[in-house]
Structure 1
Amino acid sequence: MARNFLNSWKTSEDSLVRVFRNSAWLFSSKGVSAILSLFYLAVVTRSLGVAGFGTFILIVSTGQIVAAFFRVQTWQAIVQFGTPLLIGGDRNGFRRIARRGFFVEAGGGLLACVLMWFLLPPLARQFGLEPDIQSGLLTYTLILLFAVRSTPTGILRAQDRFRDGAIGDVAIPVVRMAGAIVLVLTAPTMMGFLIVWGVSELVCALILWLLVWRRGSNPDGHLPAQLSQQPAAEMPTRSLFFRFLLATNLSHLLNVIRERFVVIIVGLFVGAVAAGLFRLADQLANSINRLTEIFARPIFAELSRLYGQKNFDDLSRLFFRSLRISAIAGISMFLVLVLLGQPLIHLMSGSEYLAAYPLLLLLAAATIINLVGVGLEPLIQASDRAGAAFLLRLFSLLVLLGLLAVLLPGYAATGAAVAMLLSSALGAAMLLWTSWTLLKEIRPGQSA
């Protein structure tokens, strides 16, 4: 019986089973990442102290925002336009899409490196940054920008090779954990941790490219056999490709700004200690967010496949089934954090970080709302409405900035966490309404 179940699990083409099967590979890497992140976060917090950890987080957050501006995320465009080409047997067309994604991502990273090299020193003098912070920011950001990893990620996901993608992703926490241990045994400095954080991204990119190269002669080898019978898709125009790329990257940029810019704002207006506490709570809450990513990425790939095949009945069923599962998972994870959050903070980082517990609950609630709506934005993007998804993200970010302006002066880091929670609730409500409207459009005359 167990063998029959495993065989049906491996071969089933039910949309939700495919999502869970691909999520299982991502969960293996994200699960390792979540566990190891608790350990290396404990090493960093105890090695640098609250203020030092706050400064470290401000540098990392700034570098990631710079990378989000210039290191173009191409994986969604490769999945959106490359998967139909693979299904139709157009391997050369898929390779052209992949090359286009690579040159866009690498070109953006190279441009950002040049700008950082020449513009950071005068900007650092203008804002009075200390030399060690300036050199740390420059070093970390340059390493981060050289890691071209979105394109190979898109290639692997378009080929339904989520297992290989998971192998690359797990390199980041492994390298960070190993590097943190080495630093503790030698000389735990902020610059050392920044270099380790950046090198982990480079190692991940290298592994992903090696996995792509290994299967280069058979790019559609992991796709279900029956999909090869689908009619050939047309090569997307450059205009269509870059419009989609612009919309998805603007949405990604807004998401990174939402996650990282709030930490910077807290650091600037409240101080490095508050930023450190806020980021520790945010990091623990993001353990839930990793579950969101685990489920969201396979959902986007599956929704893109179903939409490309005009299989709107299965698309609608997948959407609502995933919505119910996400709601149950989100509530369960929040209850776990309510019970274990405070002892976990004390065990990891010590009593001086216990003030982060109320922030953890607020930020976890915001993340749970995002988890419940895990299939909303992928549905909108997969249905050729990436621009609408961006506008919703933009409105949610503007609401967040407005709430920060009101709550931060009087309530400090707690006000920032409340602002995150309220803006998440509003954003999820707008995404739900848009998704509901979209489903009624593509399934006229049928109730959801």
Structure 2
Amino acid sequence: MEDVAQSGTKPRSLMARMLANVGWLVGGKAFGAICSLLYLAILTRSLGLKDFGHFALIFGTSQALIAIAGFQTWRTVVRFGVKHIHEGDWSGFGRLSMMAFLLDVLGAVIGCVIAYIAFYEFATELDLNPRLVDTAFWFNVAALWALVSAPTGIVRALDRFDIAVYVEALVPAGRLIAAAVIAVTGPDLVLFLIAWAAIDLLEAAVYWIVARWLCPQAIQFKFLPRAFEARHENPGLVKFFGITYISATLEAIFKHGPLLAVGYFVGTSAAGVYRLAHQLAQGLSKLSGLLSRAAYAQISRARVSADLTEFRKLASQTTRLAAVGGALVVIAVVTFGGHLLALLGGEDFRAGYAILIPLVLVSSIELASVAFEPVLHSTGHARLSLLARFVTVLTAAVGTSLLVNTYAEHGIAWSLVIGAAVGYLVMGLLAVVTLRKIQSGETTQTAL
């Protein structure tokens, strides 16, 4: 696991290693983005505004449940696993990985219970067609059991983003093929949902096979009985896990809650328009997710293996790169956003342009802050990122309550911008203060 350049023995800089990972992810996500735009166009034009609204609500609920019940164990595997890998402690890494697997299973079970309550008790509030309730529930069950959080963390901790690209390409490619076949043979909402569920389950199986292949000495069933010993072998793990779980839940509420709010306050058709605008905003802002994945793993690794100067340099360079990327995304969407929505879904969806602009601003703000959370997590200050997430969600919720009755879905979208901006300022300030405290502490130790 030595980080050496391909052409020699000189170690690559931290930024070069992160950009290499981003390069792999960009290649995979560019392919995925093209596939996503194509199958979205097929979906919207095949199903129409109303049925696509139902699809959006069902799929959006599954994404919210995955985020809430999934525990985001990959963060724990990366945060504590890189140290085991650096030291060659494969037994410790194996117990940590198997603990994450068991937590994923627990999360899936809890998520199924929540899904049952959501769809069988609140389907009317979500304006969901009664004939789709059973399908929606089982789709969410499949999505929950297709969680790949633990194996994703294993692959990222091992710094094998190249392999992850190929595995994750299965989903967009599979969805595009399935969408084309269903559209030709007879468009049907239920068939689309069945295909999406089957493809997600396939990806989960392949991810575990790959994790086992990359690290057979750690990914073994023999570590299951002693998996929870990882709590004692990794000081601070329980606290970190709890904080990151709550933080991820708040993030899920911020990302997926607005879609459900649109369905509740405005209606299914509006939810369809919102979903397409949101999907396009996310698709055009994929760089945020790419940098986040690479930055989280590389910054965690840097805190273990690099000095403070290099660590600070990596965080600063990542922030500047992300800010430029965010600005370019906003310019592109302002220029071409309305045409893209009409091209994908037809003229009925062009109205989503007014929603697309604030949603892209949110994605760009998140992109600009991509290095803040990894810095706080890797330095043992995860609770500060949780505070920032709470402020973000609270601000957005207050904004929604004030604007939704007057501006409907547009008010919800602009409330997210306000929340994201406030959260950016808070988390950025906390990250800067944390780095200065660390520098001051290490300088004092050196002087002594």
Name the TM-score, length of structure 1 as normaliser.
0.90
What is the correspondence of 1:333-352 to structure 2 with a 5 Å cutoff? Answer: 333-352=329-348
Q: 1:156-185 CA deviation, whole Å, 9 max, x = no partner?
A: 111111111111111111111111111101
1:246 alignment counterpart: 242
Matched, 1:439 2:439: no
Q: 2:74·2:153 contact (CA, 8 Å) conserved in 1?
A: yes
Which ranges of structure 1 fall in alignment gaps of 5 or more residues? 1-5, 221-233
Aligned pair in 2 of structure 1 residues 390, 9: CA closer, same or farther (>3 Å)? farther
Aligned pair in 2 of structure 1 residues 366, 215: CA closer, same or farther (>3 Å)? closer
1:37 alignment counterpart: 36
Aligned pair in 2 of structure 1 residues 127, 266: CA closer, same or farther (>3 Å)? closer
Q: CA RMSD in A?
A: 2.4
Q: 1:9·1:21 contact (CA, 8 Å) conserved in 2?
A: no
Q: 1:87-128 CA deviation, whole Å, 9 max, x = no partner?
A: 111111111111111111112213433564588535558988
> Using the alignment, how far apart are the partners of 1:118 and 1:258 within structure 2?
21
What is the correspondence of 1:13-412 to structure 2 with a 5 Å cutoff? Answer: 13-113=12-112, 116=115, 120-122=119-121, 124=123, 130-217=129-216, 236-237=232-233, 240-309=236-305, 311-412=307-408
**Percent identity (aligned):** 29
Deviation at 1:50, TM superposition (A): 1.3
1:226 alignment counterpart: none
Q: 1:346-389 CA deviation, whole Å, 9 max, x = no partner?
A: 22111111111121112111211111111111111121122221
| 3-state SS of paired residue (1:160) | coil
Deviation at 1:71, TM superposition (A): 2.2
> Using the alignment, how far apart are the partners of 2:416 and 2:400 within structure 1?
9
Deviation at 1:296, TM superposition (A): 1.1
Which ranges of structure 2 fall in alignment gaps of 5 or more residues? 220-229, 444-448
Aligned length: 429
Q: 2:391·2:419 contact (CA, 8 Å) conserved in 1?
A: no
Q: 1:59·1:133 contact (CA, 8 Å) conserved in 2?
A: no
Q: 2:66·2:147 contact (CA, 8 Å) conserved in 1?
A: no
> Using the alignment, how far apart are the partners of 1:41 and 1:126 within structure 2?
26
Of the structure 1 ranges 336-345 and 397-406, higher mean CA displacement relative to structure 2 is found in 336-345
> Using the alignment, how far apart are the partners of 2:260 and 2:381 within structure 1?
31
Name the TM-score, length of structure 2 as normaliser.
0.90
| 3-state SS of paired residue (1:188) | coil
> Using the alignment, how far apart are the partners of 2:210 and 2:424 within structure 1?
36
> Using the alignment, how far apart are the partners of 1:45 and 1:9 within structure 2?
50
Q: 2:92·2:233 contact (CA, 8 Å) conserved in 1?
A: no
> Using the alignment, how far apart are the partners of 1:286 and 1:345 within structure 2?
13
1:224 alignment counterpart: none
> Using the alignment, how far apart are the partners of 1:431 and 1:126 within structure 2?
35
> Using the alignment, how far apart are the partners of 2:58 and 2:18 within structure 1?
36
> Using the alignment, how far apart are the partners of 2:263 and 2:125 within structure 1?
18
Q: 1:59·1:136 contact (CA, 8 Å) conserved in 2?
A: no
Q: 1:188-235 CA deviation, whole Å, 9 max, x = no partner?
A: 111112222222221211111111122233669xxxxxxxxxxxxx98
Q: 1:9·1:17 contact (CA, 8 Å) conserved in 2?
A: no
What is the correspondence of 1:420-435 to structure 2 with a 5 Å cutoff? Answer: 420-435=416-431
